[in-house]
């Protein structure tokens, strides 16, 4: 560093600059919230068996292929045409989605389902949850990426649609 | 093994080890010890205290996720500062894209103060054009070389030199 090139006036002022500038408020609570995982209670994933007719489960899986769920999140890019204001604020809308998912899961918990269909739907939801986590990880790196936000919305909507289908289908025999 | 008091950096490096094992309380200690320095960097690079709070949070969140890359041969504060510089620059690039999207007018910069002083230089730095401010902070405050600054900001070293010259000139005018 060529400090000796500095004007003496500027050099003196720089020497007096403090090494630290504390924030006006304690940032740790917000940081901790971002570091700690979401409470698992709202999204029970290991529940008693869910069973839906095979056709519903197959349609759910085919409607959103596993490959699409694992597509790499879009690279950070210039803003899309959709205005930022049209995108929901992540914390409140996603909390609403989690709440809706939990409610639907509670409804279908005791519904007798075909084991094959149950396994299929369970796998779909596992992949969706993994995709949600992956998108969150990307958003932590690039929090202003509107395409990632939109992708997250689509994935949540698909999860809700699968759960809705399972919750409203007539129960299977036996 | 001796438990005699060690210097601050040695203690912090042991705390970093604990944090690497997932100890969030240890990471909080690291936060409290380093937040002032990181926040100062964020304020000076961004020119905004409000934005600096967000950038500071981003730095520590990123540090937590990248703790496995910290090698205890170097001081934790040195590792953290390097991570912070890059995280803040990335954050400011996102700001630029967001500003272009929202077409929000930049707040008017403060007028240069009439007298020299520590607070006045802080304000004067905040009033610099963004690129000149970043180069000045990285070179004259943080001690990076022009080639390092060029790599971080995506500009040529010669351009960094030009921006530094401009920043110093503007600051001199502000302080006199």
| Mean pLDDT, range B10-34, rounded to an integer | 90
Region of B103 on the Ramachandran plot (φ > 0 left; ψ -120 to 50 alpha; else beta):
left
How far B4 CA lies from chain A's nearest CA (Å)?
28
How close are the terminal C-alpha atoms of chain A, in Å?
A: 79
pLDDT at B107: 55
Question: How many percent of chain B have pLDDT more than 70?
Answer: 83
Q: What is the pTM of this model?
A: 0.56
Pick B24's closest partner by Cβ from A27, A35, A83: A35
Q: Minimal CA–CA distance to A2: which of B131, B136, B96, B26?
A: B136
DSSP B77-146: HHHHHHHHHHHHHHHHHHHHHHHHHHTPPPPPPPPPPSS--HHHHHHHHHTS-HHHHHHHIIIIIT---H
Q: Flag whether residue A157 sits within 8 Å of chain B, measured between CB atoms.
A: no
| Residue A1 to residue B121, Cβ atoms within 8 A | no
SS3 B32: helix
Q: Flag whether residue A36 sits within 8 Å of chain B, measured between CB atoms.
A: yes
H/E stretch holding A30 = helix A28-35
* Contact predicate B38/B81, CB 8 Å: yes
Contacts of B176 in chain A (CB under 8 A): 9
Q: Minimal CA–CA distance to B126: which of B41, B43, B54?
A: B43
Contacts of B24 in chain A (CB under 8 A): 32, 35-36
| Mean pLDDT, range B29-52, rounded to an integer | 96
pLDDT at A60: 46
Token pair belonging to A25 = 């408020």
Return the exposure string of B21-50: e unless at least 16 CB atoms fall within 10 Å of the residue's CB, then b: eeeeebbbbbbebbbbbbbbbbbbbbbeee
Q: Flag whether residue A24 sits within 8 Å of chain B, measured between CB atoms.
A: yes
pLDDT at position A51 over 70: no
Predicted complex ipTM: 0.81
pLDDT at position B166 over 70: yes
* Contact predicate B37/A19, CB 8 Å: yes
How far A78 CA lies from chain B's nearest CA (Å)?
7
| Residue B140 to residue A1, Cβ atoms within 8 A | yes
User: Which of A6-15, A100-109, B99-108, B113-122 has the highest average model confidence (pLDDT)?
Assistant: A6-15
Contacts of A24 in chain B (CB under 8 A): 49, 53
| Residue B61 to residue A17, Cβ atoms within 8 A | no
């Amino acid at each position: 560093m060529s400090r000796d090139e500095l004007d003496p006036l500027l050099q003196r002022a720089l020497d007096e600059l403090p090494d630290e500038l504390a924030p006006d408020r304690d940032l740790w609570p917000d940081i901790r919230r971002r570091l700690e995982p979401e409470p698992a209670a709202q999204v029970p994933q290991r529940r008693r068996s869910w069973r839906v007719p095979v056709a519903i489960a197959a349609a759910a899986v085919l409607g959103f292929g596993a490959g699409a769920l694992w597509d790499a999140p879009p690279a950070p890019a210039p803003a899309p045409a959709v205005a930022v204001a049209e995108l929901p604020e992540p914390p409140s809308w996603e909390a609403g989605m989690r709440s809706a998912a939990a409610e639907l899961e509670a409804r279908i918990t005791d519904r007798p389902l075909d084991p094959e269909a149950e396994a299929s739907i369970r796998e779909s939801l596992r992949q969706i949850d993994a995709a949600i986590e992956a998108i969150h990880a990307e958003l932590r790196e690039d929090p202003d990426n509107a395409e990632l936000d939109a992708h997250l919305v689509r994935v949540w909507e698909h999860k809700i649609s699968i759960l809705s289908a399972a919750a409203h289908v007539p129960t299977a025999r036996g | 093994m001796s438990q005699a008091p060690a210097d601050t950096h040695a203690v912090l490096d042991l705390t970093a080890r604990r944090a690497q094992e997932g100890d969030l309380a240890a990471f909080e200690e690291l936060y409290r010890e380093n937040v002032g320095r990181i926040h100062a960097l964020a304020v000076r690079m961004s020119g905004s205290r409000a934005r600096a709070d967000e950038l500071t949070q981003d730095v520590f969140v990123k540090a937590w996720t990248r703790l496995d890359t910290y090698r205890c041969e170097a001081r934790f504060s040195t590792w953290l500062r390097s991570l912070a510089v890059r995280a803040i620059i990335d954050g400011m690039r996102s700001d630029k894209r967001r500003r272009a999207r929202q077409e929000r007018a930049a707040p008017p910069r403060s007028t240069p103060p009439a007298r020299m002083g520590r607070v006045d230089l802080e304000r004067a730095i905040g009033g610099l054009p963004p690129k000149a401010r970043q180069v000045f902070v990285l070179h004259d405050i943080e001690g990076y070389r022009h080639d390092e600054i060029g790599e971080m900001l995506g500009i040529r070293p010669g351009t960094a030199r030009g921006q530094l010259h401009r920043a110093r000139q503007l600051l001199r005018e502000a302080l006199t």
